[in-house]
Structure 1
Amino acid sequence: MSLMSKLLTSTVIVTIALSANAQVDNKALLKYIKRNIVKNPQVEVKGIKVLEKKTHKDIPGWDVYLTSMQLKYQNKDIDAPEMIFVNKDGLATGHLVNLKTGRDYRNEIKPTVPNEMYDDAHLLMGNKNAKHKILVFSDPMCPFCRDVVPEILTSAKKNPNLMAVYYYHLPLMRIHPVSGSLTRIMHVAQKEGKTDVVEKMYSLKIDPRETNKKKIIAAVKKHTGYDITEAKINAKEVTDAMKADEKAAGRMMVSGTPTVYIDGQWDKMRDGYKKLK
């Protein structure tokens, strides 16, 4: 069970107060969160911030509020994302499901990428002034990432003025613990300008359960020619960068890899880069 599932519970449809112009204010959302989402008495709800309000063509009449809840749990401050669907009558729910198709629209909507996420530290391929911006959350050991991400990187290398790729690490540690060390190595290599190492990591053959850093470093050196020390990948700067990427994934409501955005919007099919002109 994840930390978020320990803190929160799913919700049913409830009524919240709307303003005269059918808008939801933070006070109403905060009351909704306290009554229907955060049921753990050990969790203090300190506030809520609306990051963005969206609509979806398949659910007319509903507004989608993408929010960040400010929580306190075991003396730790936590920013937790939450999606809330609200209609003109003041009905609110965290899940809106199409009974015919089974589609949960919570899985169909993601936030728009904020401009500050397109920073130089995450620019991996292409020119920052390229016509299109592609943002990727990825894990080099994820089979789906291995199918998709290398092609995106190759396309950006071939068309640097058309597309720029901004890369965020999201190692899926429970599935393949080796990714913890691999993503740290990738971060250092990218910072040193060795983007080829990042690319080659997607074809590295290694036991996904490997946790011995010496063995991991040796395998990376053999495969890519890149030599790095344990001290470098254990550095505080690297740890902070990994935490920052994890926080960014939470901000963007990313739940798996690869998650791809093109020009700020979620590319669910992960192939939109092929249509860029």
Structure 2
Amino acid sequence: MSLMPKLSATLLLSVSLFAATDAEVVAFLKKGIGNNPNISNLQIDVNGKKNVPNMSGWQAYFVNIEADVKQGKDTRHINQNGTYFVSGNVIAPELINLKSGERYNDTIAPDFSNTFYTKANLISGDANAENKIAIFSDPLCPFCRRYVPEALAYMAKYPKSFAVYYYHFPLAGLHPASVTLTKAAIAAEQNGTDNAVLGLYKLDINANETNDQKILDVFNKAFGTKVTVADIRRSSVVKQFESDQNAARSMMVAGTPTVFFNGQKDSSKNKYKEIKVK
């Protein structure tokens, strides 16, 4: 679940002028968001800042928003990231370049942290390759199903040119089955199955299925494995799954596929095609 559209609307109605220190940015956001009576235990932290290219004086603030949100009779805990733009005494939840039409909310992200280039996420190539590509994907996302297998197959042919790191980012709200599938792939690979990730993109399954056993039955039939419900719940699988989710949160990933090329967000997702391969 994402609260960003609702929170942004709240802020637009309450924008005021203030000196743009980190503390005051946080205080302003807390005041605007905290006015919602359905939000409690609100915590906001600035995770980083970045100058906005071609927009002199503007900085993107990357913030983490954590809160309990009341929805009817239920209360859900929300932990998500957001981007806000600050220039002097002005703050905005969205920034668009008038000349180019570029929406900076879509193109600006923190620089990819080297700590997330882990052996567990390296899916192909030499870790010391000239270029590092990080891909966040949901195997049941239609666009991912078209893009990821082709991109991975191409880069795998040039291990000295591309080190490709893959991060499971299932969109549970859109494709509930993808959560269990990605955990099954992690478990299978930990058990010795090769290329389980790529196989996910060929599975024929109801994306709205929520029964773990039914999902695993489809997975096991396709891969010839015997992954159990206990397997997808074991600590090593949960640890890897949560590590990928943490990387996604830190890098402001909101949709799939999201691609980083040599540490920078690649909105085109095709910069790898520009490389003279070896």
Q: What TM-score comes out, normalization by structure 2 length? A: 0.83
Give 1:92-107 correspondences, 5 Å limit: 92-98=91-97, 104-107=103-106
Cα distance, 1:140 vs. partner?
0.8
Number of residue pairs aligned between Structure 1 and Structure 2: 267
Match of 1:16 among 10, 15, 18: 18
C-alpha change, 1:67 and 1:244, in structure 2 (3 Å) is same
Give the drift of 1:145: 0.5
Say which SS state the counterpart of residue 195 (structure 2) adopts: helix
Confirm whether residue 30 of structure 1 aligns to residue 29 of structure 2: no
CA contact (8 A) 2:4 2:82 kept: no
Residues 35, 101 of structure 1: alpha-carbon distance in 2 compared, 3 angstrom cutoff:
farther
Instruction: Give TM-score, length-normalised by structure 1.
Output: 0.84
1:78 Cα deviation from its structure 2 partner: 6.4
Aligned residue identity for 1:236: S
Moved more, 104-113 or 132-141: 104-113
- Residues 49 and 79 (structure 1 numbering): CA distance in 2 closer, same or farther, change over 3 Å? farther
Q: What is the SS of the residue equivalent to 2:3?
A: helix
Moved over 6 A (4+): 74-78, 99-102
CA gap 1:77/1:52 in 2 versus in 1, 3 angstroms: farther
Secondary structure of the residue aligned to 1:203 is: coil
Partner residue, 2:267: 268
**Residue 184 in 1 paired to residue 183 in 2?**
yes
CA–CA distance in structure 1, aligned partners of residues 258 and 115 of structure 2: 18
Structural RMSD (CA): 2.7
Aligned partner of residue 268 in structure 2, secondary structure: coil
Report the counterpart of residue 171 of structure 1 in structure 2. Answer: 170
Is 2:78 the partner of 1:83? Answer: no
Shift, 1:120, TM fit: 1.4
How many Å separate the matches in 1 of 2:42 and 2:177?
A: 35
Deviation at 1:100, TM superposition (A): 7.4
Structure 2, gaps ≥5 residues long: 70-74
Counterpart CA distance in 2 for 1:208 and 1:124 is: 24
Q: Hey, what does 1:56 align to over in structure 2?
A: 53
Q: Which moved more, 1:260-269 or 1:202-211?
A: 202-211
CA distance in 2, matches of 1:103, 1:135: 23
Sort the Cα spacing of 1:166 and 1:56 in 2 relative to 1 into closer, same or farther, 3 A: same
Counterpart amino acid of residue 16 in structure 1: F
Identity %: 34
2:61 to 55, 60, 65: 65
> In 2, are the aligned partners of 1:65 and 1:85 still within 8 Å (CA)?
yes
**1:89-138 deviation digits (Å, cap 9, x = unpaired):** 32121222456776542223222111111111211111111111111111
Deviation of residue 81 (structure 1)?
Answer: 2.0
Against the structure 1 CA distance between its residues 38 and 151, is the aligned structure 2 distance closer, same or farther, given a 3 Å change threshold?
farther
CA distance in 1, matches of 2:85, 2:67: 24
Q: CA separation in 2, counterparts of 1:249 and 1:150?
A: 20
